[in-house]
Structure 1
Amino acid sequence: MVEIIRMQLNMPFTGRCILFFSLLAYASSIHFSHMSFLVDQHNAPFYNPGTLDFFQGAVLLAFIALAAVVLPLNLKNVSSVFLVIIFSFLYMPIVAITMGNTVDLSLSQLMIVLVVSVSFLVLAVASKIFPGFGFSKDSFSVGKRLLHVLLGVWFVLLVVFIYEFYSVMRLSGLGEVYVQREVGQAKTLIEGYLQLYFGYFFSVVLFSFGVFYRNWLAILAGLVGCVLLYSVTAERTVFMLPALVLCIYIVASSSRNLGFWLPVFYFLCAFLFLLVSLFYKESEFFYQLGFYSLVRVVAIPGVFFEQYYNFFSSVGYTNYSHVSGLNLLLSPDNYFQADPLYPQLGKIVARDVHRIESNSNASFLATDGAAAFGFLGVLLVTFLLAFYLLMIDFLSRKWPLALISPAMAPLAFILTNGSFFTVLLSFGGLLWLVILALTSRKIVFSAGFLLRG
């Protein structure tokens, strides 16, 4: 009995150690890829061929140790999923690439790591406050009724979507996506919201509910919605979201905890990035695999933060006037006031930093943080996100984690390459709050009924 107790006490420490070494492998693979595959890229953004000296390595190691201590080993609420996704695809890439993007570490780069670390800690603390204690699948009747509502709304939107965009629908190859994006670009605000909510919200959420309830009609409808959106906008991200939903569902419904799944994920990513870096010159397959996994998902969110900070801190800030509604009260600094592209920050950065005509979208830390108000902006938007997650955790604490976590996980992924305010308005962040608030009273009533029974 004493041995069993001692083993249980040692398990968290052992789990933290395994997580530390997996994070070390993940960060090292990003840096190794940075020095080879990423530096060899000929498309913007360009990566500097820096190397880690002793001090830079120590800073990176300290951040890895911090992450190994505060990352959750158990999935307890929605914010735990947000924390893991944002850390994996934003915080860790920012630190790893910033440390390796220069020969001599500057004060601003050191401040980037410090501010990012504080932002990460704020979200980590917020994720501990409201743990969930959801119902089982069989007793969660609210979810089944919501599934039927989602299906009904989806079919209505399907008819409208096809009617509006049938003339431009085309399944484009990887080399034709930018042409199709121009053709399928929304002409009005209503068309834009129709594209986003049909594809990124209702289709993806419906797929998630279908997986949880084993409803094949919902699964098929969700996948069809993603394909239809791609046929109009040629956005490849829409295909990644069902895969993300499925992975989070497997983790949330598994008998194993995050302490098992996170090291598996980080070691697999490290192995993948290592293969890409070693064989991308000899194999077109590994080059394309590296571009769509390493560059698009990890490296660009990592390098854009520093580039956004350097650019906006030198020319001026948006002062949050890039946010719809706030622009009625606030105005940007002089550099942007006569710019015809403003408030399209991604297009401005592409033009003035990368010297190309494109859209260099970046994460919420870059757009709503560094671009809005520098390092202070990073802290402000972090607290806003933390408050949002606290509300989500509180309202969803009785939902089955295997249902609500996969359904909301795409929002976390979009935050790694999009604005927090855009996620709220255009990708369903606020709509989720409304849904959870409206269903919370029914869930409490159901809980009381079950207790009396």
Structure 2
Amino acid sequence: MNNNFSYKCLLFLSSIFFVVALNFSHEIYLNPEQEIWGFPYYSLSLINWVFLICMIAPISMMLPMSFERPSGLVLFILYLFVYLPTLVITLAVSDEPISLYWLSLGVLAVGFFVICLSVRFSRNKININFLGVSKFVDRFFILTWSVLFFILIFQYHEVMNFVGLNDIYAQRELGRSSGFLMGYVQTYFAYILSPGILAIGFNRNKYSYVFLAGVGFLTMFMIAAERSVFLMPFAIFALHFLLKKRVSHKNIIVGGIVFIALVILFSSLFHGENVFFELVALYLTFRLFAVPGAMFSQYQTVFNEIGYTFWSNVSGIRLLSKAPDGFIDIENWPQLGYVVADRILGVYSNSNANPFAYDGIAGGGVVGVFLICILISIWLFFLDKSVNEISPDFFLLVIFPVGFLMTNGSFFSVMTSFGGFFWIVFFVFIRRKNFSVYNKIFKNK
């Protein structure tokens, strides 16, 4: 108990260090270099810092300090990439942030606290020796991956190209899916099947599977030029390496926050003196942390003005209800990211956002933020239950992309298109007691 409390205190202190580093970066890098993307800067007053600390302290005490359940990894990702940046960026984009954002940020903190509290009730048994993938599932992954691979090659072979940083957005337009079915083919291939094959390869030391997964990630990058697809196998390998070395989860959490804070600090200080630091500042400090943090205030500004969507932009709901009056004449409906970019930045771009902004603030204001926190709690509860007796060495690797995509994607999109629902069904299906028949069939062959 004392050791756990000590780590909670270290988590709190490392979180304060992180927000100080990001606030410093906001002042010396984000505002001077990236203000066009919505980064005005106002120095935080003493009352702002007190408010910030009050928003961090209870969450740092409740955040799970273990990855024995997938909720622990997902919450750590959301805490580091969304919650902390949202607090510190939002409080620095106005000269009166408390009066503008105290209620929405307060509800976000309460909602995040509820999520952390709810996962405490989703206990599951751990079996580090049971990978959870039978020969049937093994073959299913390979066969499905192969089918989708040839579909993608047939559809996009004329536009596939390995582009540099300057041509990413042009390539992304060329590789844009032509319909919702092809969209599912792309997302399932890149974020479910390829990570699944990679996780099997790492855990079974099957290098042919690792190679196959690498081909999958590379193929999707040559089609859609998404940086997350290119970097995903490296991130999954890093997580696998730490898990195999049995590094303490507490050390990963606290050390990870401190390491990222230092990277933000040094990249912001030296971004103008060195190409390496310039790239790190652009792609890590700005894109991975600052942009998700800025979306909360930007979405609140836009949707407080034109009204809330009440989730009528969600595909299934959109079929049953019409757009609210404030959105009838908006050209980019129902793509909220384009609406926000047009209203805030005055450019044609996609200011996509995390669930707290995209589904919460845009959907129903502060009530929407709390409701989306409840939905995330329910999803994490069932996700934890679904991995009962399955090795964390496997399920953490395949859940990582889901958690990471939630830092810059709608909750409903992540659930349907990027594996949120898929993995729950998958884990339930492969549970040993439900799969003995298939094991016997294929062992006899």
Q: TM-score, normalised by structure 1?
A: 0.92
- 2:443 aligned partner: none
Q: Distance in 1 between matches of 2:135 and 2:203?
A: 10
Partner residue of 2:368 out of 377, 380, 384: 377
Q: Given the superposition, is the C-alpha separation of residues 128 and 253 from structure 1 closer, same or farther in structure 2, using an over 3 Å criterion?
A: farther
C-alpha distance in structure 2 between counterparts of 1:321 and 1:199, whole Å: 28
Question: What SS is found at the alignment partner of 2:161?
Answer: coil
Please give the alpha-carbon distance, in whole angstroms, between the structure 2 residues aligned to 1:19 and 1:42.
Answer: 29
1:21-420 mapped onto 2 (5 Å cutoff): 21-42=13-34, 44-137=36-129, 139-140=130-131, 142-143=133-134, 145-420=136-411
- The CA deviation at 1:414 is 0.5
Please state how far the C-alpha of 1:383 moved relative to its aligned partner.
0.9
* Cα displacement (A) at 1:102: 2.4
- The superposition leaves residues 276-295 of structure 1 with CA deviations (integer Å, 9 ceiling, x where unpaired) of 12111222321221110011
- For 1:230 and 1:370, the matched residues in 2 are separated by 31
Kept after mapping to 1: 8 A contact 2:295/2:353:
yes
Deviations 1:55-109 (A, max 9, x none): 1111111223223211222222011111100111001110111122223333231
The equivalent residue for 1:6 is none
- Between stretches 83-92 and 243-252, larger displacement belongs to 243-252
* Worse-matched range after superposition: 249-258 or 149-158: 249-258
Query: Quick check: 1:319–1:331 contact (8 Å CA) kept in 2?
Result: no
Shift of 1:177: 0.6
Identity %: 29
Counterpart CA distance in 1 for 2:270 and 2:9 is 31
TM-score (norm 2): 0.93
What's the RMSD between the two structures over aligned residues?
1.9
CA distance in 2, matches of 1:358, 1:274: 28
Q: Which moved more, 1:367-376 or 1:325-334?
A: 325-334
Aligned length: 438
Higher relative contact order (CA 8 A, sep 6+): 2
Q: 1:67 to 1:270 in 2, by over 3 A?
A: same
Contact 1:50 1:102 in 2 (8 A): yes
State the 1:388 CA deviation. 1.1
Aligned-residue offset at 1:213: 1.9
Mapped to 2, the partners of 1:41 and 1:332 lie a distance apart of: 37
Rounded to whole Å, the distance in 1 between the matches of 2:67 and 2:242 is 8
Letter in 2 for 1:37: Y
Give the whole-Å Cα distance in 2 for the aligned partners of 1:253 and 1:304. 36
Provide the C-alpha distance between the structure 1 equivalents of 2:337 and 2:72, rounded to a whole number of angstroms: 29
Whether the 8 Å contact between 1:51 and 1:102 is mirrored in structure 2 is no
- The alpha carbon displacement at 1:392 in A equals 1.0
Q: Deviations over 1:236-288 (max 9, x none)?
A: 11123223322333444443322211121111111111111211122232122
The answer on whether the counterparts of 1:142 and 1:443 sit within 8 Å (CA) in structure 2 is: no
Cα distance in 1 between the residues matched to 2:315 and 2:56: 37
Aligned with 1:432 (options 403, 419, 423): 423
Q: Distance in 2 between matches of 1:13 and 1:194?
A: 45
Q: Is the 8 A contact 1:317 1:372 kept in 2?
A: yes
1:167 match: secondary structure = coil
**1:39/1:217 Cα in 2 relative to 1: closer, same or farther (>3 Å)?**
same
Listed one character per residue, the Cα deviations across residues 202-254 of structure 1 (whole Å, up to 9, x for unaligned) are 11221122212222111111111111101011111112322332233344444
* Distance in 1 (alpha carbons) for counterparts of 2:290 and 2:132: 42
Structure 1 unaligned regions, length at least 5: 1-8
Distance in 1 of aligned mates of 2:70 and 2:232: 16
> For 2:419 and 2:132, how far apart are their aligned partners in 1?
23
Structure 2: state its 5+ residue gaps. 441-445
Matching residue's letter, 1:130: S
Check the 8 A contact 2:55/2:106 in 1, yes or no.
Answer: no
CA distance in 2 between counterparts of 1:121 and 1:404 reads 24
Greater mean alpha carbon deviation, residues 170-179 or residues 330-339: 330-339
Amino acid across the alignment from 2:59: A
